[in-house]
Amino acid sequence: MAEVEESSKRMFAGLSDISISEDIPVEGDISVPVRSQNADDDFSTLDEPVKDTILRDLRAVGQKFVHVLYPKKSSALLKDWDLWGPLLLCVTLALMLQGGSADSGDDGRPQFAEVFVIIWFGSVIITLNSKLLGGTISFFQSLCVLGYCILPLTVAMIVCRIVLLGSISSISFVVRLIVVTASFCWSTFASTAFLADSQPANRKALVVYPVFLFYFVIGWMILTFSPSP
């Protein structure tokens, strides 16, 4: 008996040397089975009034807006992603870039479909780019972050429209330039605050640059907007 124990101890002696070096990042998601309670809640949401359901979703969207306006390194945007906010922002921006004129004489202005396609197609391409470079963020989480971070640019669009209600002069152009530049910097900074952690360290610049280009193009469209007389 003792000999068997001795031999087994010798056999397993080498296993005590197993070491995993500490600079390998160990990451993943552990889903706590709180979900089962939510499953019970899902059944009961059929009975609640519609107003509650809508308000709950709106509250989630509004909470994410607040997270974008005050970007800290939190994962609130990433955990429960939703695409309602980006859709709302994208439609608002595309409608406001129309200028309210129905004539097709000024057809240099971007059409609604062009703005929509640029925003969504651009977001998809940036997400694919970050995943190809080895990012750990999921597809829809990235779309969610990029869409929500358009919020400062939409606010800048509203401000520009208000400024343009006055006269079109160089003062208004300087004001609009400052507002759009500030909101562009804000958008880029907010999205990198959320996205930067999921990228490998030596490729962060490669992932941030397309985001910069994307918001630059949107900011350009906002800045060059001129309303019809």
Residues at the site binding another protein, with contacts judged by CB under 8 A: 14-15, 17-20, 23-24, 105-111, 114, 129, 131-134, 200-206, 209-210, 213, 216-217, 220-221, 224-226, 229
Of 85 and 142, which CB lies nearer to another protein in the complex structure? 142
Least Å distance between CB 194 and another protein? 20
Least Å distance between CB 45 and another protein? 36
| Contacts (Cβ under 8 Å, ≥6 apart) of 212 | 188
Of 33 and 100, which CB lies nearer to another protein in the complex structure? 100
Of 66 and 140, which CB lies nearer to another protein in the complex structure? 140
Least Å distance between CB 168 and another protein? 9
What is the distance of C-alpha 33 from the center of its chain? Answer: 27
Please give the C-alpha separations between residue 76 and each of 71, 141, 168, in angstroms, as whole numbers.
10, 11, 41
Of 99 and 159, which CB lies nearer to another protein in the complex structure? 99
Q: Tokens for 200?
A: 């490998």
Place of tokens 């971070």: 149
Please give the C-alpha separations between residue 156 and each of 14, 210, 223, in angstroms, as whole numbers.
64, 21, 9
Least Å distance between CB 79 and another protein? 24
Which of 127, 97, 132, 128 is closest to 195 using CA atoms? 127
Least Å distance between CB 71 and another protein? 23
Question: What does the CA dihedral 23, 127, 78, 138 come to, rounded to 10 degrees?
Answer: -70
Of 56 and 220, which CB lies nearer to another protein in the complex structure? 220
